[in-house]
Structure 1
Amino acid sequence: MDAPDDLPAAALETFPLTVAVVDDAGDILLTNRAWREFGRESDPESADESVNHVGVNYVATAAMAEDDDEYAERAVAGLEAVLSGDRETFAMEYPCHTPDRKQWFLMRATSFSIDDDRYVSVAHLEITERKLAELAAEEAAERARERHQTLEHVVDRIDGLVRDVTDAAVGAGTRDEVERRVVRRLVDTEPYVLAWIGRVDVTSRRVSPREWATTSDLGLEDGDLTLGDDDSHPAVEALETGDPVVIDDLESFAEADQWWPVGASTGFHSVAALPLTYGDVTYGVLVLFADDPNAFADRELLVLESLAGTIATAMNAIEARRMLTTEAVVEIELEIDDPGLFATQIADALDRSVRVRGLASEDGTPIAFVYVDDAGVDAGTVSGLEGIANATTLVTYEDGTLLEVALEGGLVPILSERGAVLQGLDAADGQATLVLELANGQAARAIYDVLEDRYDVVDLRSYHERERPARTPQDLAGTLEQRLTDRQQMALRKAYLADYFEWPRNVSGEELAESMGISRSTFHQHLRSAQQKLLEELYDGDTVSRS
């Protein structure tokens, strides 16, 4: 069957893209339905007959566009080339935005001939969805490139910062030098404009800046910050909580103008405070100000936390070296008001004053040797107290009793883990007085903080730094601890604390052996071995060759 003559025109009407056919002069001869509908949408006030644009010169209309319309200029040049026969086809993409939406089209002009007459079909296809997707992809790629460049910059900056701060901390010979080098290096890194490191005075609990550096002319004044009283300051909060504290926008923080240096008025916009902590010892606080809000993002804060740990580790190493060479020790006296302290519990339960004469550990169980001012003490009364696993009578004197008290934790492991040496612990009338010897002020600060967190009221009554002998009892104790077995240590300690070496004796070797769950002969064997090693340490320099 032959196709109808009007089939091409009818088919053209069904196309979803706008199509016009022009002659070699550029006049529109034919448009399809999509063209006409688009014309009515673009110019709703026109009559229906005018939107088919038949008879309108397409090229002349395009040329009437604004002079700076590069798309119109390209369209005219391309159409003229096709109409003149210089090229068979021409295609271009162009925007055609309306006040309501953005849209893009693809125009394609293709020449064809009928009976040697040249015609050109001009089709317009909307490509808005594809164009929006392409633009979104380009924007995403640009953002990715910017993030990559930013990340490269951050990585380079952080890598250099970590390396230099680590070198500064590890290479310093004193704690002051660590602080000085670190703050100077930090302010050389954008966006930090001020860095200071503060320490806490053990007795007054006052936070004071020891070293600082800044990129401005502003001097750092010694402010009046005290733990427990200035919780709004990030340095105090970091020391109190043990966690970093960040304020992203100082202008919106009311208390900032009360700090030194004055925050918002000096051009500083954000601040971070990080405690310098190694184990249970806090050496101070690092405070950084930046000239940008939100300067301390999560990645930045992780790096600074790592640096704070490095700084504290370097300080700990320096303090450890100093402890090996210095002859100074710190002695603190604390008053503890808490009914949960084991010595206070015993004193309250027996209604007597008590004194802890020594501490030990047996098979991992903390042991306290407690003297009570009463010869008729019932150890069973003590055994039932909270936190006390067991209590036995070790020696009975004319005016008192020495108890061996097995504890379930508490004070003894706290002191042991932190290197504190018990010099005295007395309890009476609901209060206890604790005297400790420690290696330095930081250790004293750390033990005070731990005890303050654990007990109701802890008051620092005295703080003394004093010289120690060339070889302290603690040095001898440390050497004996390495040489004596656990049983030998316990036998020697019990014998001494129970006045076994006094005359007349208040306790027999058989009683001490029974308290250790061993035979009398085994007890004496442990005791003699311990005495032998003790005398070797006192009188014989060659302690390694003897058993």
Structure 2
Amino acid sequence: MNDVDAERGGDVGDPAAAAHALESVVDPVVAVADGTITYANAAARDAFELGEVDRDAATALGTYWSRLVTVIDETTVGTARRVDLDADDFDSARIHRGADGATITFGHSWNDTEESGGSSTGTSDLLVKDRALEEAPVGITISDPDMDDNPLVYVNDAYEEVTGYTFDEVVGRNCRFLQGEDSDEDAIAEMAAAIDADRPVTVELKNYRKDGTEFWNEVTIAPVRDGDGRVTNYVGFQNDITARKEAELALEERTEELEYILDRVEGLIQDVTAVVAGSTDRSELEAEVCNRIAGETGYDGAWIGERNPATGTIGVRSSAGADPETNSIATDADHPAAETLETGELAVDTVDGTTRAAFPLSYNDIEYGVLTVRTDRDREVDDREAVILSALARAVASGINARETSRVLTTDAVVAVELELTDPALAPVALSADADCRLEYRRSVHRTDDETASLFTVTGANADEIAAAAAELSDVDCRVVVDRDDECLVELTSPTDLVGWLSERGARTRAIESEDGRARVTLEIPRSANVRSIVEAVEDRYEGTDVVSFQQRERDGETREEFAARLEEALTDRQFGALQRAYLGGYFEWPRPTTGEELAQSMGVSRPTFHEHLRTAEAKLCRAFFGDA
């Protein structure tokens, strides 16, 4: 047994106990040193008719020896190899090479054992177990803690497939050779502690294949004990969990990113919303928005630009943080800002490790420019971040729209635009054609439900004719306010009312005159606004729109419209409606063509209520006219 002990790497405990264990093994086991059989168990003595004394291996093993001796010489000390014998008695042999010799275990053929009439139950059980180990879908290893550094003495085929190492390259080495620089030190320490304590353990750690590629390995190690409770081996199971682990890590990364984005964007949204609500003019709004975005972690700059049709460039209106690449960018340049103005969609690119994302500033189809954000990272803006920044851009555009709309009432620098429309989608166009009449715009009333009702004087058709024509139009409500012999006053209400639609875009409707299916519309737009964008929006909305004229002018003093707007601001909707109906309905004429009862009915209120609203409005009108504060 000395050679058996040496082959296992030194002290293996009680030699007598080891010999007794081998005597019970049903496969033939022999120990060979210098060509001599130094030990043979009972199965080997019976198979090869060996006595108790030393025997010459070549004589005792016959043709097997010529095959085995070559493999023994080629096997590295401390490792094991399997040899196919292709013989009738034995299919294969496993050689364990020691420093002073080798141990050879012969494998029986399943069928031959049964046909020979020998005891097949023990051998069959061993073959089934051996086959189960070899064909298991997970990597299986067995190590020997009695040998120096607890080396592997067995690995199955699945282990070879997972790691890329062959049986001969693995046996005799400690399993740590799969570890590398990114292997988790805590997991490694946990395995070492479990082995020291002779207890099972399962860990997940990054390992490395023979070709150097990484894979995630779920490793389970458990001690194997003999009848006396002594640990004789460790069995290990390796399961390649790379796909699952990568999915888990990706989910964790996305979750962390989402939490980070939500945490920082919550404050960004609140601040930008406050800027939009609190700024007094467009320039202040744009400057504050750029400052807030540039000051946020993850962004190193932001700027807002506006298209200049005369030069074909995008001029920078405001910026903060990292300077824009230039003060102007050609509208056809290879730049996200140019692409966004062309498509109206988000555009992103990455140049020299910096990501640039451009968002359209558009509200109610009116273009107010482009917001460009620069990041301090080289990855693209993901979908969630894009949604959040797009929402911020819409809020900024809404704020700019509010500032530009307010300038209609305060600015002296305006552009008067005269348009001609022939699209029957515009109610006055359709009505003038169908009823063969003329409609002239008088005023509009903005109701509390955000709906706009426009008043028109109609000549050339009576109330019944204009009501019948309006009934043929979808989404148009026509209400006759006053019916006279030569003209009538009608109120047109539509979800797509032109006056209200233009007002939302910063333009004031000065006049609408429609006849023979053609309408002449006069607008006033602040000179600082994007006049071109507003006109293009009208052209897109109504087919056949022609621009008749543009005229820039300065308004001197308070115009009639400004006075009316100031008075209208002082009146409630009911007071304004009562005053307007009374005047346009001829209530102040004598004899009166209409009565207070009729006007009250047109407003859907009682006569006393109508008179109360009217007298209050008259008092406010007098105070405004005579300057009584």
Q: Please, what TM-score do these two structures have when normalized by structure 1? A: 0.61
Report the AA paired with residue 127 of structure 1.
F
Structure 1 residue 454 corresponds to structure 2 residue 495 = no
Give the superposition deviation at 1:424: 0.6
Q: After TM superposition, list the pairs within 5 Å mapping 1:276-355 onto structure 2.
A: 276-277=361-362, 282-288=367-373, 295-309=380-394, 311-312=396-397, 315=400, 328=413, 331-355=416-440
State how far apart, in whole Å, the 2-side matches of 1:112 and 1:122 are: 10
The 8 Å contact of residues 367 and 404 in structure 1, kept in 2 or not, is answered as: no
Structure 1: tracts of 5 or more residues without a match: 1-5, 63-74, 82-89, 114-119, 250-265, 543-547
What does residue 210 of structure 1 align with? 317
Contact 1:396/1:402 (CA < 8 Å) preserved in 2?
yes
Structure-2 separation of matches of 1:465 and 1:22: 114
Q: Counterparts of 2:588 and 2:227 in 1: how far apart (Å)?
A: 126
Residues 191 and 125 from structure 1, CA distance in 2 versus in 1: closer, same or farther, beyond 3 angstroms? Answer: same
Residue 522 (structure 2) aligns with? 435
1:386 maps onto 2:473 in alignment: yes
- From 60, 77, 98, the equivalent of 1:57 is 98
**How many Å apart are 1:295 and its aligned residue?**
0.9
Post-superposition offset of 1:448:
4.7
Q: 2:147 aligns with which of 64, 75, 79?
A: 79
User: Contact 2:224 / 2:233 at 8 angstroms: preserved in 1?
Assistant: yes
Look up the match of 1:371. 457
2:346 matched to 1:245?
yes
Aligned residues of 1:282 and 1:442 also touching (Cα < 8 A): no
Distance 1:152 1:426, change over 3 A: closer
Relative to structure 1, the CA distance from residue 42 to residue 209 in structure 2 (aligned partners, 3 Å threshold; closer, same or farther) is farther
Match of 2:593 among 499, 503, 507: 507
- Report the secondary structure of 2:330's partner residue: coil
Q: Percent identity?
A: 26
Return the letter of the residue paired with 1:53.
I
Corresponding residue for residue 497 of structure 1: 584
1:166·1:310 contact (CA, 8 Å) conserved in 2?
Answer: yes
SS at match of 1:386: coil
| Preserved contact between residue 28 and residue 58 of structure 1 (Cα < 8 Å) | no
Equivalent position of 2:496 in the other structure: 410
Letter in 2 for 1:401: E
The 8 Å contact of residues 22 and 121 in structure 1, kept in 2 or not, is answered as no
Q: Does 1:128 align with 2:238?
A: yes
Q: Distance in 1 between matches of 2:459 and 2:285?
A: 51
SS of 2:147 mapped into structure 1: helix
Residue aligning to 1:199: 306
Q: How many Å apart are 1:434 and its aligned residue?
A: 1.7
Note closer, same or farther for the CA distance 1:334–1:159 as it changes in structure 2 (3 Å cut): same
What one-letter code is carried by the residue in structure 2 that aligns with 1:491?
Answer: A
Q: State the alpha-carbon separation in 1 of the partners of residues 605 and 225 from structure 2.
A: 112
Deviations 1:191-223 (A, max 9, x none): 878854222469999854434679699535441
Quick one: distance in 1 between partners of 2:615 and 2:307? 48
Alignment partner of 1:533: what SS?
helix
Tell me what 2:53 maps to: none
Q: 1:291 to 1:92 in 2, by over 3 A?
A: same
Mapped to 2, the partners of 1:189 and 1:443 lie a distance apart of 30
Other-structure match for 1:67: none
Q: Relative to 1, partners in 2 of residues 1:524 and 1:197: Cα closer, same or farther, differing over 3 Å? A: closer
Query: In structure 2, the residue corresponding to 1:469 is in which secondary structure?
Result: coil
Counterpart AA for 1:350 = A
Structure 1 equivalent of residue 554 of structure 2: 466
Cα separation, partners in 2 of 1:223 and 1:362, compared to 1, 3 Å: closer
Q: Is the 8 A contact 2:415 2:550 kept in 1?
A: no
Q: How many residues align?
A: 473
- DSSP 3-state at the match of 1:435: strand
Structure number, greater radius of gyration: 2
Q: Please give the alpha-carbon distance, in whole angstroms, between the structure 2 residues aligned to 1:527 and 1:198.
A: 49
1:307-333 superposed Cα distances (whole Å, 9 cap, x missing partner) = 425644664676688788755556443
CA distance in structure 2 between the aligned counterparts of 1:389 and 1:170, rounded to whole angstroms: 35
- Which of the residues 509, 512, 518 maps onto 1:425? 512
C-alpha separation in 1, matches of 2:256 and 2:608:
79
Other-structure match for 1:261: none
Q: What's 1:258 paired with?
A: none
Structure 1 residue 341 displacement after superposition: 0.9
Higher relative contact order structure (alpha carbons within 8 Å, sequence separation ≥ 6): 1
Tell me the distance in 2 between the aligned counterparts of 1:110 and 1:58: 26
Q: Give me the whole-angstrom Cα distance separating, in 2, the residues matched to 1:92 and 1:313.
A: 71
Distance 1:513 1:215, change over 3 A: closer
1:121-150 Cα offsets, whole Å, 9 max, x none, are 965745234xx45x7887778767876887
Flag the 1:455–1:210 CA change in 2: closer, same or farther, 3 A. same
Structure 1 residues 381, 519: CA separation in 2 closer, same or farther (over 3 Å shift)? same
2:326 to 219, 223, 240: 219
Q: CA deviation at 1:438?
A: 5.3
| Superposed displacement of residue 406, structure 1 | 3.9
**Contact 1:281 1:445 (8 Å CA) reproduced:** no
Q: Unpaired segments of 5 or more residues in structure 2?
A: 1-18, 45-67, 69-78, 104-142, 176-220
- 2:101 & 2:247 partners in 1: Cα distance? 40
- Whether 2:510 is the aligned partner of 1:401: answer no
Deviation string, structure 1 residues 268-296 (Cα, Å, up to 9, x no partner): 88653212356776532113467977511
Letter in 2 for 1:533: K
Corresponding residue for residue 263 of structure 1: none
Q: Aligned with 2:93: secondary structure?
A: helix
Compared CA separation, residues 45 and 429, structure 1 to 2 (3 A): farther
Find out whether 1:538 has 2:621 as its counterpart.
Answer: no
State the alpha-carbon separation in 2 of the partners of residues 247 and 394 from structure 1.
58
**Structure 1 residues 340 and 52, CA gap change in structure 2 (3 angstroms):** closer
Question: What are the residue-to-residue correspondences of 1:179-190 with 2, within 5 Å?
Answer: 179=286
Q: Deviation string for 1:404-453 (max 9, x for gaps)?
A: 14434331543565675432101134321222345675486776566445
Q: Rate the CA distance shift 1:473–1:96 in 2: closer, same or farther, 3 A.
A: same
How far does residue 343 in structure 1 lie from its aligned partner after superposition?
0.8
Q: How do 1:50-199 residues align onto structure 2 when only pairs under 5 Å count?
A: 51-53=93-95, 56-57=97-98, 79=147, 100-102=161-163, 123=233, 125=235, 127-129=237-239, 132=240, 175-176=282-283, 179=286, 196-199=303-306
Alpha-carbon distance change, 189 to 415 in structure 1, aligned in 2, over 3 angstroms: closer
How far apart, in 1, do the equivalents of 2:609 and 2:246 lie?
85
- Quick check: 1:359–1:366 contact (8 Å CA) kept in 2? yes
